[in-house]
Amino acid sequence: MSENKLLDLSFEFAVSVVTLVDNVTAPKSSYMLNQFARAGTSVGANIHEAQYAQSKKDFISKMEIALKESNETSYWLKLMYETKRIDFQTYQYTERLCGNIRRLLIASCKTAKENME
């Protein structure tokens, strides 16, 4: 595990998103899975990209994009659960990871904004 908990969690989350997408066998789910996969993997990609931001403003922007993507991911995850594409255990595990990341992103954005002032 690295020194950056958010980087580690976001990578673990991306792995869980890819695994979930690969395991859904419900017919006619591709549109939902594509949206979920794009949003879910974008969370970690933006967090990783923020580590090499060109400025504090760029860092905050990338972290806020990751936050928005995590919110969208939760939507698709809940929709897949409610339409019986995934089971409760899968939903609960993945949503818990997403929620943890979201809380860390909120705190990181808040701290970065305060440090800019």
**Distance (Å, whole) CA 57 – CA 35:** 28
pLDDT in tens, the chain (117 residues): 557 899 999 999 999 999 999 999 887 878 999 999 999 999 999 999 999 999 999 999 999 999 999 999 999 999 999 999 999 999 999 999 999 999 999 999 999 999 887
Report the domain count for the chain. 1
Residue 46 sits in which domain range? 5-116
Nearest CA to 59 among 74, 48, 68?
48
Question: How far, CA to CA in Å, does 61 sit from each of 68, 108, 115?
Answer: 11, 11, 14
**Distance (Å, whole) CA 113 – CA 111:** 5
| Domain containing residue 93: CATH number | 1.20.1440.60
pLDDT at 2: 58
